[in-house]
Structure 1
Amino acid sequence: MAFWRHIDRNLLLKDGWEKNATYQWGIALHPLGELNALDYITEAQGDIEEMRARNGSLSLQSAFNVICTYLFVRNLFLAVSMLYKRPKMLAGWCCVLQAIAGLVYSISSLAVYLPDGPSCRIALWLVGVGSSISVLCVGTALLQKAYLVHHRNKWLLGFGIFLLLPQPAFTYMVWNSPGVMSSAGGCLSCYPTYLPWAKLAMDMPINLVFSIAFLMVVYQQYRQFGSAAWKQLVHNGIQTMCLIVFSNIICMFCVAFEVIGIFSEFFFIFDWTITSVLLVHHCTTLRLSKADAHKPHTQNVVRELANIKTAATQFASKTTVAETCSRYNIKYQAIV
């Protein structure tokens, strides 16, 4: 199966399909999008080659979803462990919410093979909701950090909330795009060509503005105080935030230019997964670096203990000599 070949999504939709489509909340539902994987494969009974093609494309998507499930389970475990130790940590709640949303999507996508499992449309709608939740979680974590290090600047807080408000628009665009089953690509979303660019325009301000605002203040604090904790914070912040920005840019361009054909829409989920991993790694690393910054260095502890032991030994030696001289009536003068 050559999944890298270019296929026009508009050709998957027959002209006038909206006339026979059912509607939900004013959204046209394509008949092929209402099928799950098992129903779609068995619908081609009698044509072995067609059944193999349908099963092959859906199996490839399932393999990708298995990897996503593992990563989201791992992220959820780390986030819950972090939240258990610091229940008032807002970034920890963001990590948990983002991982739960990803886990709901990945498990639902794997369940399409079950009898009476969720349809292709349900899986695509979960992508629309989960992607927006992911961006909101990352944006909230960045906004909190930038707000605190800028001395609780309310203008920055209001501007950050304003940048987060358009995110539900992406969910609406995904829901309004018809989902179809195809033997060449499995469960696909026939989204308009402007959707990846609109997604990039909504995500870039959040990733750039808040990251730069936070990292500038952190670097100034590091140069002023030279704390080891701030140094570690600068290093991890720059590394993680840059990776989040690069991941978003690269994935959105890959979707826009369809670098792997009709499977390029999986870069939406790929970016979602990478962002979840980076956010959990960022929060757990910062928590450990802050804890290590308050621990005394081993060499200093050993040196102090050695000094205490030497002083005690010297004092004990003086007392022993004085007592010995007194015992034998020898004149003794302590040398201080």
Structure 2
Amino acid sequence: MLLHSSPGVDYVAAAADDLNETRARYIGQSLQLFLSVLALWLFAYNLYRAISLAMWMRHFPVRLLCIVQAAAGVALSITSISTDLPGGADCHAAKWAGGVGLTLSTLCTEIMLLLKAYIVHDRPRWLLVLLVPLTIIQFGILWVIVGHAGFMLTTAHGCTVAFPAYYPWMRFALNGTVNATLSIPFLMVAVNYYRRYGSDMWACLSRDGILYMVCAIASNLAAALFSSFAWLGGMSEWMYFLDCT
């Protein structure tokens, strides 16, 4: 383990005198590169879908949020890939990219949930006030990542971020609560309209809304569990990539 921020290529080269260590570091960096490329493919596909959907969406804020969220994931993945390339980003830069990417992705999702509740409740102005605490919460999480998370290069896993012990559950408590709080007002209206009118549209909105809320909270919980108990070892923090997709 090395507590510095050099790119992965330099980290592998630093073990040139020990063939076994060089091989182990190379395998670790290759695994990280594979996961980064896989994440890039997922986020790039999401970006393509977001741009395609934006062509026919009426609401500009929703179009912008979809594109920004996917683009943040693409930028984060590219930064992660570059840590394994000559002249690429170091671990410290990857930590900043990860913090900003996670923050933007989560904030975009929460704003979209807020907009859904805002629209179905006939656009009450007071609901938009929730944008302020949402932003404060997410930038508070960003402050924890960039200010209190450590970073290191490890033989088995390449560039790894070590979050504070409280971070996974703090993130789950905040994001899970926000997801439920913003989803429930929309679902109340959707389910009520479905019961009243029996429309297939409201049935679909109700079903999809419930499914999204359950999946979002389950994803938040899975990321917290894997990170807190390190069930995947040094790869546990990659669950946050999946949480963003």
Fold match, TM over 0.5? yes
TM-score by length of 2: 0.93
Residue 199 in structure 1 maps to residue 163 in structure 2: no
Pick aligned residue for 1:100 from 67, 71, 76: 71
Pick aligned residue for 1:91 from 47, 62, 66: 62
Q: How does 1:57-76 map to 2 (within 5 A)?
A: 57-76=28-47
Hey, what's the Cα distance between the residues in 2 that align with 1:134 and 1:116? Answer: 27
Aligned equivalent of 1:241:
213
What secondary structure does 2:55 align onto? helix
> Once the 2 structures are TM-superposed, how far is the Cα of residue 87 of structure 1 from its aligned partner?
5.5
Residue 88 and residue 156 in structure 1: after superposition, are their counterparts in 2 closer, same or farther (change >3 A)?
closer
Hey, what's the Cα distance between the residues in 2 that align with 1:231 and 1:114? Answer: 49
Pick aligned residue for 1:52 from 13, 23, 29: 23
Pick aligned residue for 1:218 from 176, 190, 209: 190
> Once the 2 structures are TM-superposed, how far is the Cα of residue 198 of structure 1 from its aligned partner?
1.6
Matched residue count: 244
List per-residue Cα deviations over 1:232-286 (Å, max 9, x = no partner). 211222212221111111111221111122221111222112xxxxxxxxxxxxx
Aligned equivalent of 1:40:
11
> Once the 2 structures are TM-superposed, how far is the Cα of residue 160 of structure 1 from its aligned partner?
5.1
* One-letter amino acid of the structure 2 residue matched with residue 211 of structure 1: S
Pick aligned residue for 2:162 from 158, 183, 190: 190
* One-letter amino acid of the structure 1 residue matched with residue 140 of structure 2: A
> Once the 2 structures are TM-superposed, how far is the Cα of residue 56 of structure 1 from its aligned partner?
1.1
CA RMSD of aligned residues (A): 1.7
What secondary structure does 2:127 align onto? helix
List per-residue Cα deviations over 1:202-221 (Å, max 9, x = no partner). 21121110111111111001
Structure 1 or 2, whichever has the larger Rg, is 1
Q: How does 1:63-142 map to 2 (within 5 A)?
A: 63-86=34-57, 88-142=59-113
Q: Is the CA contact (8 Å cut-off) linking 2:50 and 2:67 kept in structure 1?
A: yes
What secondary structure does 1:193 align onto? coil
Hey, what's the Cα distance between the residues in 2 that align with 1:46 and 1:146? Answer: 61
5+ residue gaps, structure 1, are: 1-11, 14-29, 274-336
Q: Taking every aligned residue pair, what percent have the same amino acid on both sides?
A: 34
Hey, what's the Cα distance between the residues in 1 that align with 2:85 and 2:36? Answer: 15
Q: Is the CA contact (8 Å cut-off) linking 2:153 and 2:159 kept in structure 1?
A: yes
Q: Is the CA contact (8 Å cut-off) linking 2:190 and 2:202 kept in structure 1?
A: yes
TM-score by length of 1: 0.69
Bigger drift between 57-66 and 146-155 goes to 146-155
